[in-house]
Structures are given as C-alpha cells and as structure tokens.
Chains A and B, each alone.
Chain A
Amino acid sequence: MSCLLLLPVIAGALGHPSREQAYAGMSGESGPLGANIREIFHDPASADILFLGSSLLRAGIDLPMTEQGLTAHLGRPTHVETLALNWQGMDMQYFLLRDYLQTHHPSFIIWNLPVPGSRAIVPHVQAFRFMRFGEYSEALAGLPLQYRLSLYGEMILGSPRELLSWVRPNLLSKSESEELIHSPAVGYYGAKFIPLSPAVPPLDTGVTYEPQPWPSIVVTGPAFNSYEEHFAEEIVQLAKQKGIPLAFIHFPIDGERGMSTMPERGKLPLLQAGSAMIGAPSSAAFEGVGDADFLKYYMDQHLNRNGSVLYTERVLPAILKSYDTAVLHEQ
C-alpha cells in the first residue's frame, strides 16, 4: 500500500515521459487534444495571437476569420492559435501555456476567464493526467495544503497510466493529429442546426474594446477560490515574465441574453493585469437578431458556429485594436 501511495514519487524518480505523452493520455472528451498537442509540440511557429481559455473560447472564436483579419491588418502572414480544452480550469490553462512557452514566444495572449455561471471544478477533471510529481513544482508551491494534498492524490491516480506510457506510447489518431479547432455546427441542446449568415456590421470598438476600468464589466457570481486565484495569478506572472502582453476576452453565454453588461467572475485586481477587456454585452453582440433566432447562435452555454462567426465578426476590430495597443504600441 505504501508503494502505491509513493507511486508519483517513484514515477518522478524514474523520469516522466514527455509532456506530450501526458496530454495524449487525457480522455478524448477533453476536447481537441490533437490540435493543442500539435500547436505546443510540433508546430514551431509562434502565434501572433494566442487565445487561451476554456471551451467557451474555443467555441466562440472563429480562428480563420481572426487570422485573415490580422493578416490584412498587418499586411503580412500571421498565425493565430488557441490553447483551450473542455471543462473549467485555470490550472489546465496554466500548464498548457507553460508548455507552449517552453518553445514559443507569442506576441499577444488573449485570455477568457471563467464566467459567473461556471462551477469551480478544482482541480481540473483531467488533472491526474497532466500534473505529475516534481514537474513545475514551484507553480504548485504556493497552494494551500489541502489543494496540494488533493493534487498529490491526483498524481497517485495518474501514475499507473503514466508508468504504462513507458511500456508503450499513448497514441493519437491521424484525424486527431490533424484536427482543426472550430466551433461545432450544433443546434441548441440537440436541436437541428440551422446555418445563418446574417450581414451584421462589426460593432463600434467603443463597445467591444474596453481599457480599464471596464465600465461594462460587472464582477459577479461566486468569487474565485484560492486554487483558482493561485493559477490565475500564475498565468499573469508567467506572461509578465516572458514579456508577453495580455488582454481578456468575454464570450456571452446564453443566459446573458438581453444583458447590457458583461458579467465576469474575475476580480478587478486580476483584470487589471490585462491591457483590455475585449467583448460585447449580449444585447449589443446580438443587436438586430430577433428573439426567435437568438438561440440559433448557441449550442448550450457555448456559441455554435453561427454564434462564433457573428461574434468574431463583431469583435474583430477590437481584437485588432487591442493587438495594436498591446504589441505594436509597446514596440
């Protein structure tokens, strides 16, 4: 029994398999693992804009549109990437970002925080896969003891599969390795997806780009617990250390219908770490969209393909302005 309790230590002493293997061992339900692994470990190009966040971001941002817009704006080829998996967890986001920054230097990070409707799942549902004993331990050192014990328990749980990785590698299929990140063409809670392509003009950047003190932001919902705060701070510090400017982005969920503010869980001191909040309140983002059509832009809390195209189109000027302010201005 004591051997089992010491499994993480034993695995650490033997030497962990690569970080890539850690992610490849995660459940397929975690999201586009292949795309994230490709971006972190195989694509040598650093992103001009790196989007970081949860599935809300992954569903909400149209990457090709953003990349085209940035390319046209800068007059040169650009590269836009997303690091985002399913389930809430800034611990997951921190580890993804840290691994990415080992070999990349993005120009700009745009990060979406957990929304007030989200539940604090701590540690991340798949923490037992990507957290291994002895790795990035200084990032875990500041956590309260209860969380460190909890994480050690996760590491025990993940150790058998990790040790198995030494016997044979975790595999990804060809389709997983080649997958692209895009918002699903799925209707609201299983309804039939009806593609829409309304001609909606972009919103005024006065609406969608907010430097401090973010008049449209309402801090609400359950406050971050100490675990979440810890990793949020670690992400901020990591970006600062690497000299990479940071901005936040808001994606309105279905429950924000008609709201003229952007509810966020993140406290103002955290938000002040970012240069701007990009996004539009739901009432502005869906201006001109009738009540009958509103839910056709969502698959649940997440924007679907209709919503992703609409929202990205509306906030793209703000993304570009934010890039200019944070990256070009600083240069």
Chain B
Amino acid sequence: MDFVDRLPLFPLFFSFVVYPLAAWIVLRLLPQKIRMQLFALLNVGGLAVLCLLGGAKNIRIKMAVPYSRAALSFFSVYVVLAVLHYFVLRLSKRDKTIWPTVAFLSPILFLAYTKYAIESFDPLNGLVVPIGLTHPALFFIGVSYLSFRLVLLVQDVRNDVVEMPNIWEYLSFAFFVPTLSVGPISPYGRFIKSVRTIDREKTPIGRSLLRILVGFTKYIFLGSLLAQFAYTGLLRDGHPHALIDLFIAIPAYALYLYCNFSGFCDMVIGISGLLGIEIMENFDRPFQTRNIQEFWNRWHISLSTWIRDLVFTPLTKATMRRIPPKYGNHAIAASLLVAFFLVGMWHGTGMNFVIFGLMQGIGLVTLHYYTIWLKKRLGRQGFADYRKNTPIRLTATVINFAYFSLSLFFFANNWADIAAIHLALSGR
C-alpha cells in the first residue's frame, strides 16, 4: 500500500498511538505547572491533525493546498468559537441575566447551524466547493459530541457540581482527542478529577489494555465481517437481491453498528484508561434488554443520559406543572416523543434520521402505555411475575432487538439508498 492507501488509517494511528504516547508524556512526566497548558495544546493540535486528515482521502493531489487551507480555516473557526464559549461560560457565573442561557444554548445553536444551515452561508461554503466537497461540516470533527459535552459542562458549572475550569482545562476537555469524534459524552467532573490524579482502581492498566484489544477486535474484525451482510456490503452492492437478503441485512446492520460503535468506545475508554483518565461507559449489553426503555439505558448510555437529564426530565416537569395530574401519563408520552425526535435529529440531517428517532419515541410511548395497562390488568404481584417469566423475557428480548434493528434501516439509509434497495429487491 502506498501513502494514499494508508491515509484512512492515519486518523486511527494518530488517535490511538501517537496521541496517547504524547499525552502520557505531557500528563505524567512533565512538571505540573505546564501540564494543563501543554495538554490543551496537544488536544487542540490533535484536532488540527484530524481536521486535515478527515477528508483527505478523497482529495486529488493537486487540491492538497486548497484543501489544507480550507481544513485549517475551519479548524481555526472551531477553536475560536470554543474559546468564545469559554468566556461566555465565565461570564455566566458572574452575570446571571442572559449569559447562562447564551452559554447553554450557543453550542446547540452552533450544532444546528453546522447540520442544517451551513450550506447556505457562502463565506464558509465557498471554501469547500472548489475542492470538490459539498459540506464544510466534515471539518467540524465531532461537533455533535462537542456541543453536548459543553452543554453538560455549562449545566454542571451552573449547578456547582464542578468548579469553573481554567481555559487550559476547558480546551483539554472540549477537544480531548480520544472522545472527539464519537464520544462518549463524558462529564467534565470525572474527566478533570482523573486528569489531576490517577486512580488506578478506576482505570487499571491491565483492564484498559484488555478494553483496547476487545475494542479493536470488535471494531476492525467483527465489524468488518458483519458489514458484509449489512446494507452497504449486501443490499447496496449494485445487484438485485432476493427478499431474504433484507431479513439478513436488518439484524446484521444492528450487530455491525454495535461492534463498530461499542468497539471504538472500548478503544477510547481503554486508551483514556491507560492515561489514567476515566471516561464513562457507553454500552452495557444492550441486546440483552427486554424493552426499548431498558435498551436506551444500555445503548449509547452517555447520549441517553444527556437526553434524560437535559431534555426529558425538565420537559416532563415543566409540562406536569402546567397540566392537570390526570394527564400526567400523556405528558410523559409527549416528552418521550420530543426527546427522541431530538435524538433522531442529533444523529443526522434528513427525514430518515427523524423517522429513526420517532420510532424510538413511538416504541417508548407504546411501552409506557402498555406497562400502565399491564399493571392495571395484572396487579402488582402479577406484574412482578410477568417480569420474572423467562419465556416472556426471551420473547420480549427478541422483539426488542427486531424493532431496534428495523428502526436502524432509516438510520443507515437515506432516501436514495432506500430507493436503491427497493430497486435491488425488485430484481432490477
């Protein structure tokens, strides 16, 4: 393989080899008085490297200079906006008029802008069209995770869960390279505590190494095998397919996504653990759950925790305060739909992601009303027995997996992909 073929591996190599070595030296070997500054610069530098490498594979050699210029421009905008947010956060501690709201909302608004508005904003879009790209958002590496991470930080600072970070601690947290692109959306308190002092009971070296190995196996090996049966590897290979292939691709994609996503998170948690930095868990055997509520407590845990704490719970409380108590169950149902509508939109632009999110919401709402009905019908003891019944639990687990896998059809495929799959299944 020559340089260009190796290019897609560089971000992985950088994130999981070069960066950890450099971070270890900075965090554990350098004097304390310059540690955080250098760690922050290392993470910001890491962001620059990832911005440069992010879209490089598809760029022709003669576009290397304009591409680099565009990548570094967006990188600069990204960092400047993060620094501005920091100063707004500081301001929000002193001036509690509009600044707490600005600090809370600005990352969300920036996220919405990068997802939905940026194409129409010419000064930025003008940088990418000449290099053959259509959307500059790819340079804002991990913006979905960054924005949620910062909102969580704002909340924790406002509620005095953590003390105000200095600019170096803030930048280190915001752009912490291992969690930059796919999370987990780990809280600042846990991060900074373990940066300052290693607690090897929480991040044992052996377990961290094992996590890396397990994650690597899931991400590279198992994920690649399962991808052969998923949509891109099977149904969208450009050939016609029998209907059985749809029933293969649906569960295969769910398993592939689990191996891909959780495997990457395992590596992230493992690498961070080697550095002594504690990152929250993101997956806990999600396919062993019996319903969609339990599922979302064990799938992408950091996101579901964020949505629960910052959207669902406040929204439900606010609604409950305004309506008669007899409508309380409906308030919960409405909040579930809103929360997962937002989850869908967070995952990507396009109606297919909205459908994905709404399917989660509909599943949760259905479960919510089903549970209410079941409790009324069976009584407390009957419901407890129902919960303990093994055949029911196994059946529910299978149905739950099937439902989530089906919803991923819209997560994995945009309308053009769905049209291509339809064409393939029609035998054309």
Contacts and interface: CB of A to CB of B under 8 A. Distances in A.
Given A4-B221, A167-B244, A173-B428, A119 B5 contact: yes
Contact of B234 (A24, A161, A175, A222): A161
A160 B229 contact: yes
A100 B73 CA distance: 53
A25 B241 CA distance: 11
B237 A28 contact: yes
B240 interface: yes
Interface string B89-117: 00000000000000000000000000000
A33 to B, nearest CB: 8
Nearest to B423: A173
Contacts of B240: 171-173
A156 B228 CA distance: 11
A303 to B, nearest CB: 19
B224 interface: yes
A156 B225 contact: yes
Nearest to B244: A168
Contacts of A171: 239-242, 427
A120 B228 contact: no
A161 B228 contact: yes
B224 to A, nearest CB: 6
Contacts of A160: 225-226, 228-229
Contacts of B229: 160-161, 164
A111 to B, nearest CB: 23
B238 A27 contact: yes
B427 A173 contact: yes
A120 B2 contact: yes
Contacts of A1: 217
Nearest to B1: A122
A119 B237 contact: no
B133 interface: no
Contacts of A175: 428
A170 interface: yes
A83 B168 CA distance: 60
Contacts of A168: 242, 244-245
A196 B59 CA distance: 30
A171 B240 CA distance: 6
Interface residues of B, number: 25
A157 interface: yes
B225 A164 contact: no
A121 interface: yes
B239 A172 contact: yes
A138 interface: no
B233 interface: yes
Contacts of B234: 161
A29 B238 contact: yes
A171 B4 CA distance: 33
A176 interface: yes
Interface in A132-172: 156-158, 160-161, 164, 167-168, 170-172
A152 B70 CA distance: 40
A174 B217 CA distance: 40
B25 interface: no
Nearest to B248: A164
A176 B423 CA distance: 14
Interface string A173-206: 1111000000000000000000000000000000
A122 B244 CA distance: 33
A120 B225 CA distance: 25
Given A4-B225, A160-B229, A170 B239 contact: yes
A28 B239 contact: yes
A167 B244 CA distance: 10
Given A157-B228, A173-B428, A119 B239 contact: no
Nearest to B221: A4
Contacts of B224: 157
Nearest to B222: A4
B238 A28 contact: yes
A24 B239 contact: yes
Interface string B1-40: 1101100000000000000000000000000000000000
Interface in B234-279: 234, 237-242, 244-245, 248
A167 B229 CA distance: 13
Nearest to A128: B228
A4 B245 CA distance: 21
Nearest to B242: A168
Nearest to A171: B240
B275 to A, nearest CB: 28
A174 B240 CA distance: 9
Contacts of A121: 1, 5
A4 B226 CA distance: 11
Nearest to B252: A160
Interface string A1-17: 10010000000000000
Interface string B214-234: 000100011011101100011
Given A4-B225, A164-B248, A168-B244, A119 B4 contact: yes
A27 B237 contact: yes
B221 A119 contact: no
Given A156-B225, A161-B234, A173 B239 contact: yes
Interface of A: 1, 4, 24-29, 119-122, 156-158, 160-161, 164, 167-168, 170-176, 222
10 contacts: A26-B237, A119-B2, A119-B4, A120-B1, A157-B224, A160-B226, A161-B234, A171-B240, A171-B242, A175-B428
The 5 closest A-B pairs by CB, nearest first: A28-B238, A171-B240, A161-B228, A160-B228, A173-B240
Given A168-B245, A171-B240, A171-B242, 10 more contacts: A24-B239, A28-B238, A120-B1, A120-B2, A122-B1, A157-B228, A160-B226, A161-B234, A173-B239, A173-B427
